[in-house]
Amino acid sequence: MDEKPVSFPAPALSEVVKILGVAMVFVLAQLAERLAGNEA
């Protein structure tokens, strides 16, 4: 086994970015829904 410093390989990094993107969209949708509910 080769001991490398802790670093994310490109595929893992893209996965993290994808998950963060989905999470951000979900949070934004929740906020928009809450704001719409408050407006009504």
Tens of each residue's pLDDT in the chain, 40 residues: 566 666 666 778 889 999 999 999 999 999 999 999 987 6
Cα angle 14, 8, 16 (rounded to 5 degrees) comes to 35
CA gyration radius for the chain?
18
User: Which residues, other chains included, contact 8 with Cβ-Cβ below 8 Å and sequence gap of 6+?
Assistant: 16
Domain assignment present for residue 24? The answer is yes
Look at the chain and report how many structural domains it folds into: 1
Residue 34 lies in a domain: yes
22 alpha carbon, distance to own chain's centre: 5
The domain of 39 spans 10-40
Report the pLDDT value the prediction gives residue 6, as an integer from 0 to 100: 64
pTM: predicted TM-score of the whole model, two decimal places: 0.55
Would 2 be classed as within a structural domain? Answer: no
| 31 lies in some domain | yes
For residue 4, tell me if it sits in a domain: no
Residue 19 host element (H or E): helix 10-39
